[in-house]
Every structure is written in structure tokens, then in C-alpha cells.
Amino acid sequence: MTLLGAMGRSAKPQWNPGVPEGSKNPANWRRPGTAPRARPEVSSKKQEASPVKRIVALGMIAVVLGGLAWMGGRLTAQSGVAGADSRSRVALLNLSHVLKNYQKAVVLNNELKDLASPFQQRAKAKATQYEALAKEAQAKPDQREQYEKQARQLKRELEDLSNETQQVMAKRQDDALVLIYKEVQDATQRVAMSQGFDMVLSYNDATTSQEYWSPMNIMRKLQQGACTPLYFTRGMDISADVVTALNQAYGRVAPAPGAGGGAAPAPAGTGNAPAPSATPRP
């Protein structure tokens, strides 16, 4: 038997006309002479229940997906808030700039100078007498012992005058120092809170470009142990804002011109305005 004969004897399955064309499922094929396979009947209740089940299943999936999306958004929001809170803002304050531009500090400094002026004049007069005695002692060696006695007396008087000056000035200086520092600290806190800064670091540096690049200032920077910023953006330095806050507060309580026997300071906002940055930019 040839292969062709064997192939002729095998009946080729025919397409079942009861199924759509294009179906390649062998179950839909039948041999010649066989009746088409009948499809099982589905009850009407099952047909009605199937769409309902699909709708319920889809609804449950939507609820689950919605819950997951809500939880994911909540976690993202919480992590975003935590990340924002973890970032701290730091500001810088140049105390030298503040003390030079705070009007109350300038007034107190001038008062201390006026208080020390009489002592300085008396000390200068005695120092002049001492120098004159030294010259006379050199010119008159025979009276040297007498001049040396007078010089020792002047020296004791100078020491007593120095002690007296220290006793008078020390209390006033200490009181003014504590007062100004408290006010600067309070104004710094107000400005920091209003601008959203978490920390303010103070430092002392030159306030003009000439002072900034002076050899003395450079040597001071190299020798001092405190941390001094080498670079910072202008927005970090709030020295000018603190000076403005201090002068505005002082302007409301400053004595009127002529009151107190001294010249009143200029009201806040007048005169040379402070530079945007208290420290000159390199």
C-alpha cells in the first residue's frame, strides 16, 4: 500500500458548520457521516447570574484598587511632609554689623565715652606732668632724687585714677553689654520665626570691603577658634533685618530731641541704609 493510498483511506475531518469560521479547536471538527455535536443548554438563571457575578467582581476589584491608591497617596503625603520637616533652615548674624548699626548700641557707646572722658583728661594731664619731670631730671642731674620722688607720686596718682575709672565704668559697661545682647537675641528670634529659620549662628566679621581684606582681619580669621563662614548665600545673612527690627523697636521708645540732655538718635529708617549683606562678598 502506497502512502497515497493510505492517505486516501483516512477520512479527512470536515468543518462543523455549527461553529464560527476560523475556529481551530479540534473539538469543533467532526467526521463525515456523524451528526453535529449538540451544545449543552445553559439555564436562564445561570445566564442571568453570570453578568451579576461579573459586575460584583469588578466592583470588588475597584474597591480594592481604590483603597490601595488611597493608602499609597497617604503614605506619599506623609513621607513628603516628613521630608519637608527634616530640612532645617539656618541663618547667619554678623554681630559686628548689628552693634555698629543698632542706634541704641551707638547711643550707649557714646554715653560710655562721655563718662570716661573726664578720667581720660585727668590721666592725660598727669602723664604730661610725668614726661616733664623726666626731662627735667635729665637736665638737672643734681636734683634727680627730688624729680624721681615727684615722678613716683604721679605714678601712684595715675594708678589710683585708673582704678577709679575702672570702678565707675565697669558697672555701666556690663549693664549695657547684657542689655544690648538680650535685645539682639530677642530681635534675632523674632526675625528668624517670621522668616522660617530654624537656627541662627552668630559671627563677627568686617563690615566694609577695606576692613574685610585688611591683613589684621585676615590674621584674626586664621587665629580665631570659632567657625567663620567662608561662603554663604545672601539670603542666609539676616543681620540687616535684625538691625531694622531693633531700630524700629528703639524708635518707638527713644527720647524726644532735647530730652535727657543729649542728642536723640536718628529715627529708624533714616541715614545710610545697611547693606543687603552684612559681610562684604569676596
Identify the pLDDT of residue 253. Answer: 80
Residue closest to 96 by CA, chosen among 175, 208, 182, 187? 208
Identify the pLDDT of residue 81. Answer: 46
Amino acid at 36: P
Asked if residues 151 and 198 have their Cβ atoms less than 8 Å apart, the reply is no
Burial 190-220 (b: 16+ CB within 10 A, else e): ebbeeeebeebebbbbbbeeeebeeeeeeee
Task: Print pLDDT tens along the chain (282 aa).
Answer: 433 344 344 444 444 555 454 445 555 555 555 555 555 554 555 555 566 566 556 566 655 555 555 555 555 555 554 444 567 789 999 999 999 999 999 999 999 999 999 999 999 998 898 888 888 888 888 888 888 888 889 889 989 999 999 988 998 999 999 999 999 999 999 999 999 999 999 999 999 999 999 999 999 888 876 677 767 777 888 999 999 999 999 988 876 655 544 433 333 333 333 344 555 554
DSSP state letters, the chain: --HHHHHHHSPPPEE-TTS-TT---GGGEE-TTPPPPPPPP--HHHHHHHHHHHHHHHHHHHHHHHHHHHHHHHHHHHHHHHHHHHPPPEEEEEHHHHHHH-HHHHHHHHHHHHHHHHHHHHHHHHHHHHHHHHHHHHH-GGGHHHHHHHHHHHHHHHHHHHHHHHHHHHHHHHHHHHHHHHHHHHHHHHHHHHHT-SEEEEE---SSHHHHTSHHHHHHHHH--S---S---GGGB-HHHHHHHHHHHHHHHSPPTTGGGSPPPPPTT-SSPPPSSSS---
The three cell numbers locating residue 124: 592725660
Identify the pLDDT of residue 70. Answer: 56
Identify the pLDDT of residue 135. Answer: 84
DSSP state letters, 169-191: HHHHHHHHHHHHHHHHHHHHHHH
Three-state SS letters, 10-24: CCCCEECCCCCCCCC
Domain ranges across the chain: 90-233
Beta-bridged to residue 94, according to DSSP, are 203
Identify the pLDDT of residue 7. Answer: 39
Identify the pLDDT of residue 48. Answer: 53
The three cell numbers locating residue 258: 532735647
